């Protein structure tokens, strides 16, 4: 514990000079401030989600289910806030956005290292996105570490194994069979069943966020290409299929 400095103020503690000094629009257009604030807020919430996920993954490693659920529930609430914040951004009209879009150059949400780390920490480990980060940079090193360390998905598989489910080399079929066993006798495997439903909540909410992103993008730039070089809305629509726990979605058909 560090001693509380005498006379420390609200602004000191929250480093508001730094925080509120970091909104620097490149144009003189009114709406660019909203664009910056929305994205900075998103990065702060991503930071908090990664912090909670780190805790949850560690707790699952010791079968500490209840505190892990607590952290995952908090992730879920943050996801709700992030999904709702699209409603604020959709007050940005196409014409007002296009007036400052050129100042963004080739920068794009594609390059959000924290968003990619979130996918990796959940278990959506698509290494092809590393190409956006030059080797040796802090962002690249963080992402490589996230790829190497156990994700929430992998931590859940280890918990299944400790409970006696044989998931062998972690093939899709073995994982599906194990979760199916949990769902068919949910009373016996109550901790794992509750865990699975928390994992569904997180995957569901991420897909919901992605869906609102596509709708907002269609509403603001229609079918234009993205500044990051993708096809735009069609690319984003294709990411709706990405799931950290596809077996949990698929088993619904088998119950
Ligand atoms: C006017 C508003 C926005 C537009 C037109 C827009 C458009 C796009 C497009 C076209 C892409 C695909 C990559 C590219 O080619 O650039 C993309 C990716 C992305 N955007 Fe946005 N976006 C907007 C706002 C936001 C906001 C507010 C967030 C976060 C809260 C966000 C987060 C992301 C992320 C994380 C990706 C990468 C998604 C992935 O690869 O799965 N975007 N965006
Ligand atoms: N990809 C967007 C630009 C964009 O949204 C963006 C640009 C810079 C920083 C963050 C962004 N947000 C998410 O993609 C576009 O194509 O208009």
Q: Please check if 39 is assigned to a binding site.
A: yes
* pLDDT tens-digit series, residues 70-127: 999 999 999 999 999 999 999 999 999 999 999 999 999 999 999 999 999 999 999 9
Number of other residues whose CB lies within 10 A of the CB of residue 121 = 24
Protein residue with its CA nearest to atom 7 in ligand 2: 108
Residue 4 has pLDDT above 80, yes or no: no
The preferred substitution site among 23, 106, 109 for testing ligand 2, maximizing ligand atoms within 8 Å of CB, is 109
Does any ligand 2 atom lie closer than 6 A to the CB of residue 227?
A: yes
| pLDDT at 126 (0 to 100) | 97
pLDDT of 2 reads 53
Residue 121 assigned to a binding site: no
- Check: CATH 1.20.58.480 for 29-155+166-253? yes
Give the pLDDT confidence score for residue 171 in this predicted structure.
Answer: 85
Cα of 38 vs centre of ligand 1, distance in Å, is 12
Distance 239 CA to ligand 2 centre (A): 16
Q: Is 213 annotated as a binding residue?
A: yes
User: What ipTM does the predicted assembly reach?
Assistant: 0.95
Q: At what angle do helices 152-162 and 172-184 cross, to 10 degrees?
A: 60
Per-residue pLDDT tens digits for 180-225: 999 999 999 999 999 999 999 999 999 999 999 999 999 999 999 9
* Pocket-testing residue among 227, 228, 232, ligand 2, by greatest number of atoms within 8 A of Cβ: 227
What ranges do the domains of the chain cover? 29-155+166-253
Average pLDDT of span 167-180: 90
For the segment 162-175, the average pLDDT, to the nearest whole number, is 90
Which residue in this structure is represented by tokens 């912090």? 51
Give mean pLDDT, residues 47-60: 98
Q: Which two tokens stand for residue 29?
A: 């257009």
Q: What is the mean pLDDT of the chain?
A: 96
Q: Is 120 annotated as a binding residue?
A: no
């Amino acid at each position: 514990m560090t001693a509380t400095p005498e006379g420390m103020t609200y602004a000191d503690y929250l480093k508001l000079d730094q925080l509120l000094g970091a909104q620097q629009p490149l144009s003189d257009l009114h709406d660019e401030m909203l664009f910056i604030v929305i994205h900075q807020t998103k990065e702060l919430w991503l930071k908090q989600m990664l912090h909670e996920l780190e805790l949850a993954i560690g707790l699952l490693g010791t079968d500490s289910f209840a505190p892990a659920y607590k952290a995952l529930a908090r992730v879920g609430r943050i996801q709700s806030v992030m999904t709702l914040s699209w409603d604020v951004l959709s007050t940005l009209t196409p014409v007002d956005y296009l007036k400052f879009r050129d100042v963004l150059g080739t920068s794009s949400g594609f390059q959000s290292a924290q968003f990619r780390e979130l996918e990796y920490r959940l278990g959506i480990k698509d290494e092809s996105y590393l190409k956006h980060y030059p080797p040796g940079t802090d962002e690249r090193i963080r992402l490589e570490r996230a790829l190497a360390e156990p994700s929430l998905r992998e931590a859940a598989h280890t918990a299944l194994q400790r409970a006696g489910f044989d998931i062998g080399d972690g093939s899709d079929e073995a994982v599906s069979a194990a979760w199916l066993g949990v769902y068919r006798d949910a009373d016996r495997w109550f901790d794992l069943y509750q865990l699975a439903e928390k994992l569904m909540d997180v995957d569901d909410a991420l897909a919901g966020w992605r869906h609102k992103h596509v709708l907002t993008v269609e509403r603001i730039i229609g079918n234009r290409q993205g500044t990051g070089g993708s096809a735009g809305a069609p690319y984003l629509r294709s990411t709706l299929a990405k799931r950290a726990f596809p077996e949990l979605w698929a088993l619904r058909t088998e119950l």
